[in-house]
Structure 1
Amino acid sequence: MHLSFSFGALLSWKAVLLAAFFSGLTSGAQAQNISAKLMRCVACHGADGNSQQEGVPSLASQPKIFIENQLVMIREGMRNIPIMQGVLDGVTDEELTAMATHYAALPLTSPPADRQQSLYVMGEKLAREMRCGTCHLPNYVGREQMPRLAGQREDYLLQSMRQFKSNQAVGRDTIMAAALYGASDDDIKALAYFMSRTTP
């Protein structure tokens, strides 16, 4: 017997699981509504919150408050992400909180197994010297409004740090521009490499 698989079937099962999850947090109608909204996130951020798309961050295991803040800023137009425009229109604060709770509780997949030791050590040294752990915690799992860096996609970390350094990260914490002041692009590459391969 051959089993067939389709992305549509995956989404259908995901919708059922999400509805079951949220039914324990809110009313049945609200649970269905929230799970339907979360289905919009699956295509880019992954069914389990672990992104497989270049330049798209993984949301799994991010701090709940961080996710909430980002969702509000995107909804209110304070953070401009073209592909996200309109996606959160009409989503209530309560629904955003439920979405953040969902993603914060999802487990993060293991980071890439390959490791270029010299680049990893360089990134580790830079992270220590630049005191990244002061805000993001020593194991880089993040806290409150500070994002988890450990295990995040390397390409997304690289893209974000370059935006911060060039003051292009509109709507995000400006302290990062100061934190990256004087860092070369090679430094940023090493930091992204190290963080992406660090196990939370």
Structure 2
Amino acid sequence: MARPSVVILLALAFALPARAQLDASQMAATRVKAEPCFACHGPDGNSQNPDYPILAGQTWRYIYIELKDFNEGRRSDPQMSPMAANLSRDDMIQFGQFFSAQKPLPIKFQADGAKVEAGRKVSDAVLCPMCHLGGFVGQNEIPKVAGQWPQYVKKQLADFKARRRTNDAGNMTSVAATLSDADIENLSHYIGNL
């Protein structure tokens, strides 16, 4: 009899398909389907608006899971919830693969050096790199947040802290609950500067 942890790992391994590269025709078709996303997230996922996240270079599995959470009501947003409402599983996977394949561009943000250093210390203290990895590059379902708009990062951390966002299995809400407003400000400068 298989141990429960082995069974769980096997179930997770087969829950999502391995990331197959979209071929050129699939990439072109997905780009057309993704055009409505560009209004907020920018061309090819490089948002120019600090209220919206950069999707270019994000882990495809994270994009898929967030779209699925919007689609199924585990995450709510006045703009995203309706956009994700009618997406199929294949659409969500293809959007994840499309945006993860795009090259992220640097943001135009002037970081405050003192806040960057203070944010680095907060990051080390609350062990952010344990999940987001060194350099905040993300992995699988854990998002890449390096180079993300600080304004967006601040809002997400504040939403986790206030439990307005809870689609994280408690991981981020637990960490964010320990952060002061100054910690959140400093972390946003640190992450945006990476």
Q: TM tier, shorter chain?
A: 0.7 to 0.9
Instruction: Show CA shifts across 1:109-129 (max 9, x none).
Output: 124463321111111111111
Q: Secondary structure at the match of 1:48?
A: helix
Q: 2 CA distance for matches of 1:121 and 1:39? A: 38
The residue that corresponds to 1:184 in the other structure is 180
How far residue 167 of structure 1 moved from its aligned partner, in angstroms, is: 1.2
Give the TM-score, by structure 1 length. Answer: 0.79
Residue pair 2:70, 2:85 contacting (<8 A) in 1 also:
no
Change in CA separation of 1:144 and 1:22 when aligned onto 2, cut-off 3 Å: closer
Q: Does 2:24 match 1:24?
A: yes
- In structure 1, the gaps of 5 or more residues are 1-20
Change in CA separation of 1:35 and 1:50 when aligned onto 2, cut-off 3 Å: closer
Paired residues for 1:9-158 under 5 Å: 24=24, 26=26, 32=29, 34-112=30-108, 114-158=110-154
CA RMSD of aligned residues (A): 2.1
The residue that corresponds to 1:15 in the other structure is none
Name which of 162, 166, 181 aligns with 2:162.
Answer: 166
Equivalent position amino acid for 1:98 in 2: Q
Q: Larger helix proportion, structure 1 or 2?
A: 2
- In structure 2, the gaps of 5 or more residues are 1-20
Residue pair 1:164, 1:174 contacting (<8 A) in 2 also:
no
Range with bigger deviation, 103-112 or 132-141: 103-112
Equivalent position amino acid for 2:70 in 1: I
Change in CA separation of 1:71 and 1:121 when aligned onto 2, cut-off 3 Å: same
Give the TM-score, by structure 2 length. Answer: 0.82
> Which entry has the higher C-alpha Rg, 1 or 2?
1
Q: 2 CA distance for matches of 1:112 and 1:161? A: 21
How far residue 22 of structure 1 moved from its aligned partner, in angstroms, is: 5.7
Residue pair 1:79, 1:172 contacting (<8 A) in 2 also:
no
